Amino acid sequence: MKAIVFGGTTGMGRAIAQRLAERGDAVFLLSIDQEDLARSAADLKARHPQQADLGYAVCNLEEPQGFAAALDAADAALGNFDTVIVTAALFASQEALEADIELTRRLLTVNYANTVVFCEHVRKRLLARGGGHLAVFSSVAGDRGRKPVMIYGSSKAGLSVYLEALDHKYHEAGLHVLCVKPGFVKTGMTAGLKPPPFAGEPEGVAKDVIRALDRGTPLIYAPRIWRLVMLVIRHLPRFVMRKIAF
């Protein structure tokens, strides 16, 4: 693979970039912070000296005017990328979002509108060169309307629908779309929250994502137990959902 990892300096994105580099895939990092990118690229190069000079570029989901330039930089470094993995997103608690309308606007714009715009840039490039892989992190929060993640979950629900439709429309043209739905994973985003008994680790999610990319799988839950958890949640009656805090 010649892969872009958007969000590759932290958490699950970092774990994916590490695993790709370990097996010899070419990697290009995108993130919002120049210093984090430089440190992460240097770390990957130190761990995997067989990698060619590992490239990176600043890209911010709140600034869609920079998407094309970031993808141009990746194309130049990789000799035309064939895989894009998007883990970047914005998270905030339901309480924080209800207290701050501007934060709500930002989160909804980043997680849905601007992520879709970024994917559309990628789609056009990949289809023009015969296809490729696009893996995007949504969330189990988008599977059902739930009180603790009402606003965040709605942003991910919209993204999941877009990714499914993208797969339906362009699969025969060679675009392989993977929607990743993480449950609770121990990352900086979930720091301070009490983990459930089946909480995942970034390294395990990275392994599942890369396996799914290799197989052309269109949808995964990570950790996999979340598929069963959300199957139950999706079938709970509305009167039950009104009473529980999950």
pLDDT tens-digit profile of 19-62? Answer: 999 999 999 999 999 999 999 999 998 888 776 668 999 999 99
pLDDT tens-digit profile of 113-130? Answer: 999 999 999 999 999 999
pLDDT tens-digit profile of 144-202? Answer: 999 999 999 999 999 999 999 999 999 999 999 999 999 877 665 655 556 666 666 88
Top pLDDT among 16 and 49 is at: 16
pLDDT tens-digit profile of 65-100? Answer: 999 999 999 999 999 999 999 999 999 999 999 999
Domain extent listing, the chain: 2-243
As a whole number of angstroms, the distance between CA 97 and CA 103 comes to: 6
pTM of the predicted structure, to 2 decimals? 0.93
> H helices of the chain, where?
11-22, 34-47, 67-78, 94-99, 101-108, 115-128, 150-170, 202-215, 225-234, 238-243
As a whole number of angstroms, the distance between CA 202 and CA 178 comes to: 17
To the nearest whole percent, how much of the chain has pLDDT over 90? 85
pLDDT at position 49 is: 77
pLDDT tens-digit profile of 230-246? Answer: 999 999 999 999 999 88
Mean per-residue pLDDT, 207-219: 97
Tell me: domain 2-243, CATH 3.40.50.720, correct?
yes
Q: For 182, list phi and psi in degrees, rounded to 5.
A: -70, 145
Q: For 93, list phi and psi in degrees, rounded to 5.
A: -70, 160
pLDDT at position 30 is: 98
Mean per-residue pLDDT, 201-210: 92
As a whole number of angstroms, the distance between CA 222 and CA 162 comes to: 19
pLDDT at position 194 is: 62
